[in-house]
């Protein structure tokens, strides 16, 4: 009934909606030199196609009106004319060569990631992105932060619906940034239209691409390659900031990361691990194992009330650290730090009525990860 009401309202207001739409309906010019080149290439070819279309369809519709049987047109019987046939083979070839020249130049430029000032490793995971600033000891994952109640429609959808993340990728303007892309599971594709960067993240491969952003701003995109259930829910957000601000930001992140690692050896309390663990669960685990640890069997088992999990802490920890081969559960030994792993395991063992009372210490996890 509710669906019906939606539909009827929308159909009724449709004629008013369409003309007022001020949304983009063409490829963005973007904020890099390459994106501008691609845009101009796109428009050039578009107008060439329009011109050819006008000629061909013009000739066609002229013939359809002029030579109607109903108006007593008598059919001619000519056919085959070598000159005409050579011309309509040769002219398209010339047009295509004219298109290929600028296309080749742009492609060569896109394929030159040399002399980068910064390397960022981008790893696709079902269904989030992990960013690692190479050589800076800074790494984090970036997941959708649009509230589920907006997806279900219980809450009004915000302007950046489905295009918000918890931790955006922060990049400096005016510096050449090289991306190294790979995946931990299936093929993803990292795409930001304004940067004209779209590149497949393929497990077992490292693909290169690069960007030099000309203007500070927030640029949004999405995973472009079907990667399973939540393919539509793994956005990309890039914050491009001034160079000086970027240097400060990365120094800050670096210090924070070092502080966390130094805390591994101390004795952690249940409450602080629970708090940390809940945050990690909601960023990383929830997309498969669902809110409340309900899971969605058979692919993603429930964690709440999972008897094997409750009974066997070592088994549980091993699955999080090393993953499950042949199933969707990835190994988190490299993507989460020992504090995060300890926290999320502790959280899972105590939340949703699992109540084991177990406290897994980061130092224990660190030992197991190092093995």
Residue 227 in contact with Cu ion, rule: CB under 5 A: yes
One of 128, 130, 178, 188 touching Cu ion (CB under 5 A): 188
Whichever of 23 and 115 has its CB closer to other proteins, that residue is: 23
Q: How far is the CB of 295 from other proteins (least distance, A)?
A: 13
Q: How far is the CB of 58 from other proteins (least distance, A)?
A: 10
Whichever of 17 and 271 has its CB closer to other proteins, that residue is: 17
Q: How far is the CB of 175 from other proteins (least distance, A)?
A: 21
Q: How far is the CB of 108 from other proteins (least distance, A)?
A: 7
Strand, helix or coil at 74?
Answer: coil
One of 38, 139, 173, 223 touching Cu ion (CB under 5 A): 223
263-302 positions binding Cu ion, by CB under 5 A: none
Question: Bridge-partner residues for 217, per DSSP?
Answer: 240
Whichever of 20 and 371 has its CB closer to other proteins, that residue is: 20
Separation of alpha carbons 308 and 328, rounded Å: 18
CA 10 to chain centre: 30
Candidates 35-43, 72-80, 144-152, 180-188; binding stretch for Cu ion (CB under 5 A): 180-188
Which of Cu ion, other proteins, none does residue 260 bind to, with CB < 5 to 8 Å depending on kind? none
Which of Cu ion, other proteins, none does residue 38 bind to, with CB < 5 to 8 Å depending on kind? other proteins
Q: How far is the CB of 53 from other proteins (least distance, A)?
A: 6
Question: How many chain residues interact with Cu ion (CB under 5 A)?
Answer: 4
Question: By the 8 A CB rule, do 212 and 142 touch?
Answer: no
Whichever of 53 and 305 has its CB closer to other proteins, that residue is: 53
Which of other proteins, Cu ion, none does residue 104 bind to, with CB < 5 to 8 Å depending on kind? other proteins
**Exposed, middle or buried: residue 294 (CB in 10 Å: 0-12, 13-18, 19+)?**
middle
Cis peptide bond prior to 127, omega within 30° of 0: yes
Q: How far is the CB of 207 from other proteins (least distance, A)?
A: 4
Q: How far is the CB of 343 from other proteins (least distance, A)?
A: 27
Question: By the 8 A CB rule, do 227 and 124 touch?
Answer: yes
Whichever of 12 and 314 has its CB closer to other proteins, that residue is: 12
Single out the residue of 332, 228, 232, 348 nearest to residue 281, CA to CA.
348
Which of Cu ion, other proteins, none does residue 110 bind to, with CB < 5 to 8 Å depending on kind? other proteins
Separation of alpha carbons 141 and 254, rounded Å: 15
* Region label for 210, one of left (φ > 0), alpha (ψ between -120 and 50) or beta (otherwise): beta
Separation of alpha carbons 40 and 32, rounded Å: 13
Single out the residue of 189, 288, 145, 283 nearest to residue 230, CA to CA.
288
Whichever of 131 and 347 has its CB closer to Cu ion, that residue is: 131
Whichever of 3 and 271 has its CB closer to other proteins, that residue is: 3
Separation of alpha carbons 8 and 10, rounded Å: 5
Q: How far is the CB of 130 from other proteins (least distance, A)?
A: 17
Cβ count near 88 (within 10 Å): 9
Separation of alpha carbons 307 and 311, rounded Å: 6
Separation of alpha carbons 137 and 130, rounded Å: 13
Instruction: Point out which residues bind Cu ion (CB under 5 A).
Output: 188, 223, 227, 234
């Amino acid at each position: 009934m509710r669906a019906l009401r939606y539909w009827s309202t929308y159909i009724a207001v449709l004629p008013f909606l369409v003309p007022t739409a001020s949304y983009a309906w063409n490829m963005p010019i973007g904020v890099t030199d390459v994106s501008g080149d691609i845009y101009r290439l796109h428009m050039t070819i578009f107008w060439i196609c329009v011109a050819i279309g006008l000629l061909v369809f013009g000739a066609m519709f002229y013939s359809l009106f002029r030579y109607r049987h109903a108006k007593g047109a008598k059919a001619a019987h000519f056919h085959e004319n070598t000159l005409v046939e050579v011309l309509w083979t040769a002219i398209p070839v010339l047009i295509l060569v004219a298109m290929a020249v600028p296309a080749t130049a742009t492609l060569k430029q896109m394929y030159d990631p040399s002399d980068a000032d910064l390397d960022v490793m981008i790893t696709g995971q079902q269904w989030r992105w992990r960013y690692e600033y190479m050589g800076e000891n800074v790494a984090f994952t970036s997941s959708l932060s649009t509230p589920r109640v907006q997806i279900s429609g219980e809450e009004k959808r915000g302007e950046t619906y489905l295009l918000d993340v918890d931790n955006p990728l922060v990049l400096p303007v005016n510096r050449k940034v090289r991306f190294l892309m790979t995946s931990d599971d299936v093929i993803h594709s990292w795409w930001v239209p304004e940067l004209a960067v779209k590149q497949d993240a393929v497990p077992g491969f490292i693909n290169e691409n690069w960007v030099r952003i000309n203007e500070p701003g927030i640029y949004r995109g999405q995973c472009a390659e079907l990667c399973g259930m939540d393919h539509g829910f793994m956005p990309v957000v890039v914050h491009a900031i001034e160079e000086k601000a970027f240097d400060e930001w990365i120094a800050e992140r670096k210090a924070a990361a070092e502080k966390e690692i130094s805390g591994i050896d101390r004795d952690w309390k249940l409450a602080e691990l629970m708090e940390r663990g809940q945050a990690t669960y909601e960023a990383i685990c929830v997309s498969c194992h669902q809110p409340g640890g309900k899971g969605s069997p058979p692919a993603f088992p429930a964690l709440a009330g999972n008897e094997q999990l409750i009974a066997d802490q070592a088994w549980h920890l091993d699955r999080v650290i090393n993953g499950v081969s042949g199933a969707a559960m990835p190994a988190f030994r490299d993507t989460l730090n020992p504090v995060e792993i300890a926290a999320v395991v502790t959280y899972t063992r105590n939340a949703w009525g699992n109540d084991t009372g177990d406290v897994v210490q980061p130092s224990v996890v660190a030992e197991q990860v190092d093995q």
